[in-house]
């Protein structure tokens, strides 16, 4: 039997931010311990994989998840003619509002409604925020990324599993005023854990005082809980049937690879001020958001525009 490889990708919820961090530097220098304790490690060990690759990156956008997943598969699997039935891909999709830009010959992960210390990143982020960003565009971008990766994996006949890490696809659709309705029927819900469950994302599922550490990321208990949930789903749904055959074999030691210790370069310096040059935006700012957020009589698109200026990413780095 071929050795089995689990490829996992996502944001900090996949990387394992907060696990085994040094109190002074806020960095984890024991990458193997983090690889083993984060949900990809838990999932891979429980299902009997020989190699577990964790490409998670703190603050990662779905832009990056898509780019790096495709690159890894093409470089490490397809181009080397590795056996397709030995690879299982698991993606924890990040918040759709995040973006990736190529700045000064480096890939950068930015959140539109936060400002940054680095001048080039901050400048680009402000222009993008004031000119182009919206809940609608974010939702459509995410649906395109999701269906695009799904199509590539199906084309190469690679088994996979998707789930929402910090924002459920249902919440994304609600925030975008149901812009995803035409896309949802084309997503393979059999391979999407907790699909259309508004509270089915990882952050919500493990987000009580027992499973979330002080920096708002899951601790070891939270990662173990999520890893076990995914493992049960994979087995019950027969997403990767070959893992059931390995239960009769003598287990071999796991090999861990992935994103090493990361020092966050894209550190925010606070919530940005709202754009102030638009009469429409000034009108929105003068209203009490709490009083009108459930008002069904708002003009079409009005509520989405208002929410845009109050929206913050739930997992940011101080």
pLDDT per residue, tens digit, the chain (318 aa), is: 578 999 999 999 999 998 998 888 888 999 999 999 999 999 999 999 999 999 999 999 999 999 999 999 999 999 999 999 999 999 999 999 999 999 889 999 988 877 787 788 888 888 888 888 888 999 999 999 999 999 999 999 999 999 999 999 999 999 899 999 999 999 999 999 999 999 999 999 998 655 665 457 899 999 999 999 999 999 999 999 777 655 544 456 789 999 999 877 666 666 565 443 344 444 554 554 444 555 555 555 555 554 555 455 655 544
Please enumerate in sequence order all residues whose Cβ is within 8 A of that of 89, keeping only pairs 6 or more positions apart, or say none: 7, 8, 9, 69, 73, 153, 158, 159, 160, 161
Segments making up each domain of the chain, as ranges: 5-308
Burial class (CB in 10 A: 0-12, 13-18, 19+), 125: buried
Q: What's phi and psi for 212, nearest 5 deg?
A: -115, 130
Q: What pairing do the DSSP bridges indicate for beta strands 87-93 and 99-103?
A: unpaired
Q: Has domain 5-308 been given CATH number 3.40.50.2300?
A: no
> What are the backbone angles phi and psi of residue 153, rounded to the nearest 5°?
-65, -40
């Amino acid at each position: 039997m071929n050795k089995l490889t689990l490829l996992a990708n996502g944001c900090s919820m996949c990387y394992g931010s907060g696990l085994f961090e040094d109190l002074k530097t806020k960095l984890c220098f024991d990458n193997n311990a983090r690889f083993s304790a984060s949900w990809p490690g838990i999932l891979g060990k429980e299902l009997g994989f020989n190699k577990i690759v964790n490409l998670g990156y703190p603050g990662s956008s779905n832009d990056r998840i898509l780019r790096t997943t495709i690159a890894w598969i093409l470089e490490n699997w397809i181009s080397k003619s590795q056996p397709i039935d030995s690879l299982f891909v698991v993606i924890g999709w990040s918040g759709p509002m995040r973006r990736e830009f190529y700045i000064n010959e480096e890939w950068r992960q930015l959140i539109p409604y936060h400002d940054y210390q680095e001048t080039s990143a901050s400048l680009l982020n402000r222009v993008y925020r004031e000119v182009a960003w919206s809940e609608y565009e974010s939702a459509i971008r995410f649906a395109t990324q999701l269906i695009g990766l799904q199509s590539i994996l199906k084309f190469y006949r690679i088994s996979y599993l998707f789930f929402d890490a910090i924002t459920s696809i249902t919440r994304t659709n609600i925030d975008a005023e149901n812009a995803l309705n035409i896309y949802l029927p084309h997503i393979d819900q059999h391979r999407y854990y907790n699909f259309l469950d508004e509270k089915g994302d990882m952050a919500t599922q493990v987000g009580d005082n027992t499973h979330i550490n002080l920096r708002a990321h899951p601790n070891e208990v939270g990662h173990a809980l999520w890893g076990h949930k995914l493992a049960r789903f994979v087995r019950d749904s027969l997403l990767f049937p070959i893992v059931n055959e390995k239960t009769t074999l003598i287990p071999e030691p796991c090999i861990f690879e992935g994103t090493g210790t990361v020092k966050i370069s894209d550190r925010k310096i606070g919530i940005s001020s709202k754009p102030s040059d638009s009469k429409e935006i000034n009108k929105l700012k003068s209203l009490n958001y709490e009083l009108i957020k459930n008002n069904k009589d708002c003009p079409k698109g009005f509520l989405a525009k208002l929410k845009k200026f109050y929206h913050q990413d739930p997992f940011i780095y101080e």
